[in-house]
Structures are given as C-alpha cells and as structure tokens.
Structure 1
Amino acid sequence: MIVDAVFAPVQSTTAFEETLERLGTAIKLELLPPGTRLPPERDLCEQLGIARSTLRQALTALVQSGHLHAVRGRGGGTFVADAPAQIAARSELVDWRERCDVRLAVEVGVAYLAAERAEPAAIDLLGDLVGEMAASDDDFAAYRRADVRFHVGLAEATGSPALVAATTESQGAMTDLISYIAHPPEVLAWSNAQHARLVDCLIKRDPALAMKVMADHLRGTEHVLAGLLP
C-alpha cells in the first residue's frame, strides 16, 4: 500500500529532516488526507526506524508549520490539518532543486578549504554567529541574517573572493526559497547544531569531516524544503 511506503524505515544521517520531508510530502500529495490520525508515536518510531526524540521533533515542526495539529484528551492524537492554501508556481519554486545543487557544489568545497585555511579570528567570528542564531528565539529574520553571515563568513575564511561571490549568490537564491516555508524552532535549532559542528571542524583542522557535516547540513535543508514547500 502507498501509505505503507510513507512509513517505511528512514535510514540516513539526516533522519530528522527526512522524516519531515516524508510526512510533509505525503500530506501535500494527500497520501495522508486531511483529518487522518497518525499512528501512535511508539508504532511510528518502529515503522520509521527512528528514535522517539527524532520523531517528536519532526512532528512538532510539522504542527508549527500547519501541516499537523495535536488534540489532547480521550480520542486525541496527531491529525493531518486541513489542506493549506496553495501558492501559485513561481520560477524559484520550479527550479528549487537546481538551486540546492549549486549551493551543494559551492559550499561543500568552501567548508573543506575553510577548515584548512581559517584564521583564529575568523573562527571566533563564526562561533559568535552560532551564538547569535541560538539566541534569536522566535525572531527568524535575525536568525536568517546571522545564518547568511555565517555561510558567507566560511567563504571569507578561505581567502577566495570568487568563493565569497559564489556563496553570496547562492545564499540569495536560497533566501527566495526559504521565504515560502514556515520556520519551526526545532528546524532552526537542528540546523544551528550543524553550524556549531562546522566551527568545531575548523578548530580541529579537519577538512574531510567539514565536508561531510556541510553536505549533511545542505541535504537537510533540501529535505525540509521538499517537505514544506507548497
């Protein structure tokens, strides 16, 4: 059955984001129609092969984005919300995967070079930006400003003006996409934890791990977009 595929095991280092995409896409395609009650958390965890904490983060994010709603008490549970209003297709939505591909190609290389070349002052600045994002609370505009500065700051740490320009252009393209989705705090906290790991890679001069963390980070964003974009 199609619904069985929705709840097939998730096997990835980006389990949170993939769970978000899996459920968000199923809701958009009405494989899980409005009013559908999701299975109990224990059953969902077993079917998806993920930890309960990961599932709860994904469900909370989908509730906050309006895809699900929770009902307490007898007869309660987590239900698929009424179908949200659709946004007319725009060029930035049509080619969103290509934009993600360009970003992946640029920023994974940036992470590698930054881990090789970053000066202590640049690393300290990136650490400060992680702190700004952590302190942004519900102010997504402030989070996003620090997020952009973080990624451009990584490019600046490579010492390559061409990579700074490419990263800045990529971030501009992503901002257009991100404006179409909700920004649940769980998603932002998860993303910022990866920013912190990248800073640690720079401190330890570990370019190979920096590439992996950045690839996971960008793939995670892609999964979130796939699940939440209209």
Structure 2
Amino acid sequence: MNDTGDGTSGGAGVGRGDGAGADQGNGDRLATVLRPVRAGNGFEEALEQILQIVRLGLVPDGERLPAERELAERLGISRVTLREVLKVLTEQGLVESRRGRYGGTFVRRRGEVDGGAGAVASADEDEGDVEDALRFREVLEVGAAGLCAARGLSDAEASRLRAALDATRDAAPHDYRRHDTFLHLTLAELAGSPTLTAQYAAVRARVNAMLERIPLLVRNLEHAQLQHAALVESVLDGDADAAREVMREHCAGTAALLRGFLT
C-alpha cells in the first residue's frame, strides 16, 4: 500500500506544493503537536491535532501534510481512522487530496476555503470561555454519573434513563443533539441534586452553542453512542467508578472536537 492511500507516493515530512520535496523544518515543528492519542477517543483526538496543525500554520497554506503512514504512526492510529479524519477535513474545505507524482493531502489556501462549515471552523472563539465551559461540564457530568450509580435508581428512574438512551439511538442525524442533550440532562436530574441539575442545564446550553458551530460527524456520533450505552450500563449496574470513567472519556472526546474547531 502506498503512503498517501490515493494513488500517490508521498514521503515523510511535509512536501512543498510545487513538489519540491520534504520540508524537514516543518516536519520537526509538527512534533510539538502530534503525539499518540488515547485509545478511547482516537478519531476525535487525531482530528483535534491535525486541526491544530492547520490552524497554527505548522503546515503552510498550499503545502502537503505528512504522508498517511507517518501521520498514522505519530498519532498511534490505524490508516483507516486517519483517512476518516482526513475525509472530514476535506469535507470542511480545509484540505484537499491531489493525485499524481507529487500528490498527497494539501492544506488549502485560506482564500480558497469557501463558506459553510469550513467558515464556521475558523470563527473566533475565546479560548478561555471554551475551556471554562468544558471543564465545568466535565466536573458536573462525571459527578452526576458517579452519584447516579452510587445511589442506585428505582425501576421508574432506570426506565427513564433507558428510554433517553433509546431516543438517542433512534434519532435522525439532524435531531441527534437534542436527544443527546436530553439524555445528559436526565442523568443530571437522576443524580438527586436540583442545584447540580440547574448548573448543568446552564453549562450545557453553552456547550450546545459551541456544538452548533462545528459539523455533525457521523463517526463521532457512532462513538458517542457506544459510550452512552456503556455509561448507562455502568449506572444501572451501580458501578460508580466505571460510570465516572466512561463519562470522563466521553466528555474528553467532545472537548477534543470543540478545541480543535473553535480554538
């Protein structure tokens, strides 16, 4: 299999847009961003890191990203997962694939990026606001998951939680975030603290406003559903440690996407 997976033979490092070969200086700078991702959120964290490369200009406009083999090795992910990440970036108009002897995946020049989701991705966002909301959300969500599992749910409460999970599983893509929000709000409410529920509702509104500014990614939704199922199972089993850990990982995946697109 060739390095770029698109009928080309890109080498290591960052290639110039005119096919002049690898730019080792850029390749070295990528080490400040590229690192092996955690197994739980490989797709999301890989997307975050490559978005950072593009945003920070570590690969200049019009130049080539490292070859697929090198990127996959640096990130510690499969070539299949990497191609899904690159497909998202292509759909958002941030990179483009070129064939031929000097082909590969190239960062699009800023003037070439059209409107729509690509423009949303470059919208200004205060990094401090994003981090504040994401950290507070994680504290509340992880705490709520642990409380629910530790206190135990009645049959009626367990049925509510299962129904909320089922609704996310059956939701159409355009309606997914609404059902996702309801599942998380249900979990917060079942923790038994009205104050926690109110605070979570407020921070979730902030998070949803951010989510509306990034694309809805099918791969991410599929992954989120697996985490939702594991979370509900842990809560219903009364396993507070597992519930907290699944929720922490779930929040980290969403946070990776939001940081990648908005900061």
TM-score (norm 1): 0.85
Alignment of 1:128-143 (within 5 A): 128-139=163-174, 142-143=175-176
Q: Which residue, 37, 54, 64 being the options, matches 1:37? A: 64
Change (3 A) 1:187 1:63: farther
The within-5 A match list for 1:32-181 is 32-71=59-98, 76-83=103-110, 84=113, 85=119, 86-89=122-125, 94-116=128-150, 117-139=152-174, 142-181=175-214
CA-based RMSD = 2.5
Which structure has the larger Rg over C-alpha atoms?
A: 2
Distance 1:191 1:104 in 2: 15
Higher deviation after alignment, 174-183 or 62-71:
62-71
Amino acid at match of 1:167: Y
Aligned length: 226
Q: How far apart, in 2, do the equivalents of 1:40 and 1:127 lie?
A: 44
Higher relative contact order (CA 8 A, sep 6+): 1
Q: Is the 8 A contact 2:98 2:105 kept in 1?
A: yes
Identity %: 35
- Runs of 5+ unmatched residues, structure 1: none
Alignment of 1:146-225 (within 5 A): 146-225=179-258
CA–CA separation in structure 1 for the residues paired with 2:164 and 2:83? 27
Question: In 1, Cα distance between the equivalents of 2:99 and 2:217?
Answer: 21
Residues 1:70 and 1:190: Cα distance change in structure 2 (over 3 Å): farther
Aligned residue type for 2:204? Q
Match of 1:216, as an amino acid?
A: E
The CA distance in 1 between the partners of 2:89 and 2:145, in whole Å, is 30
Counterpart of 1:187 in structure 2: which amino acid? Answer: N
Structure 1 residue 73 displacement after superposition: 7.0
- Flag structure 2 segments of 5+ consecutive residues without an equivalent: 1-27, 114-118
Which of 49, 58, 75 is 1:22 aligned to?
A: 49
Q: Taking structure 2 as the reference length, what is the TM-score of the superposition?
A: 0.75
CA distance in structure 2 between the partners assigned to 1:129 and 1:59 by the alignment: 32
* Residues 20 and 227 in structure 1, CA contact (< 8 A), matched pair in contact too: yes
Question: Partner letter of residue 185 of structure 1?
Answer: V
